[in-house]
Amino acid sequence: MTPSLKLNKNQEIQQLKDTSYTTRRPTVPALEEVLYDPFPVLDYGFIRVIDYMGDDGAIVQAARVSYGKGTKMVSEDRGLINYLMRHHHSTPFEMCEIKFHVKLPIFVARQWIRHRTANVNEYSARYSILDKEFYMPNPDQLAAQSATNRQGRGQVLEGKDATRVLDLLREDALRAYDHYEEMLNEDASGNILDPNRPGLARELARMNLPTNYYTQWYWKIDLHNFMHFISLRADSHAQYEIRVYAEVLREILKMWLPLTYEAFID
């Protein structure tokens, strides 16, 4: 269980997993197996697959504009998918879609949202109170500014330098959350702190929280743009904190569409 998934959330997930539907549409057993499960990322984050449309055969079917399933033989499908990928014949890949529930630090969400070709619905901090969960880097990720790359990290901080940074991050995040609760006049569970004074509106109180606090969203994207996202964000130039999400997404792609994954990695 990731720390951010409380007991009742696990029960909700189990209920979803215990429910099944019959369908005439192709499904992918490997993805069905992990549907709704949280893949942990960073300290409180996760990625859950909520829904998907299409399999490798759907790409072949669309490319051939076929009346049938599209699949003749795996070797033929593999060849065609490789050909499409190599020649940037991208529209057949847009026939598949996938929907995720993602929990991520706000500063990672700011990079992620730049990918405009997805559909997003974010947790509303105007309506709800944000969880008291903030990202703290592992000590091996606490690096100094790179001397050669203005967008990168250099030597890992050690000893008292690392301890001081971790202390500052923790203190700032906790103090900001205390002030958030004080302004709201509510705690994280929604209990009123002082019945004799009004709280500030949630849409305003949230503004003092640092960007290492976690937000959540549903994110739906077609396969073409999904691969584009992975290729940019699983790349070594991407910041570690978004790269680890992209690496999980790449593993999910492998489970979902093994032939497409092979061609993509090639």
Ligand X SMILES: Cc1cc2nc3c(=O)[nH]c(=O)nc-3n(C[C@H](O)[C@H](O)[C@H](O)COP(=O)(O)OP(=O)(O)OC[C@H]3O[C@@H](n4cnc5c(N)ncnc54)[C@H](O)[C@@H]3O)c2cc1C
- CB-side neighbour CA atoms (13 Å) of 211: 7
Q: Write down the least CB distance from residue 53 to ligand X, Å.
A: 19
Distance, in Å, from the CA atom of 203 to the CA atom of 89, rounded to the nearest integer, reads 44
- The CA–CA distances, whole Å, from 244 to 42, 108, 169, 190, 235 equal 8, 11, 21, 32, 10
Q: Coil, strand or helix: which one is 209?
A: coil
Q: Write down the least CB distance from residue 255 to ligand X, Å.
A: 22
Q: Coil, strand or helix: which one is 121?
A: strand
Length of the chain: 266
* Site residues (CB under 6 A) for ligand X, limited to 109-128: 114-117
Q: Which is nearer to ligand X, 80 or 221 (CB)?
A: 221
Q: Which of 202, 233, 243, 250 is catalytic?
A: 233
- By rule CB under 6 A, what count of residues binds ligand X? 9
Closest by CA to 262, choosing from 108, 41, 80, 54, is 80
- How many contiguous H segments (helices) and E segments (strands) does the chain have? 10, 7
- Told to check if 179 binds ligand X by CB under 6 A, we report no
- Annotate each residue in 27-56 with x if it binds ligand X (CB under 6 A) or - if it does not, as one string: ------------------------------
Q: Which is nearer to ligand X, 53 or 232 (CB)?
A: 232
Distance, in Å, from the CA atom of 37 to the CA atom of 48, rounded to the nearest integer, reads 6
Q: Which is nearer to ligand X, 47 or 238 (CB)?
A: 238
- Annotate each residue in 227-246 with x if it binds ligand X (CB under 6 A) or - if it does not, as one string: -x---x----xx--------
- 233 in active site: yes
Q: Write down the least CB distance from residue 117 to ligand X, Å.
A: 4
Active site members: 233
Residues that bind ligand X (CB under 6 A): 114-117, 225, 228, 232, 237-238
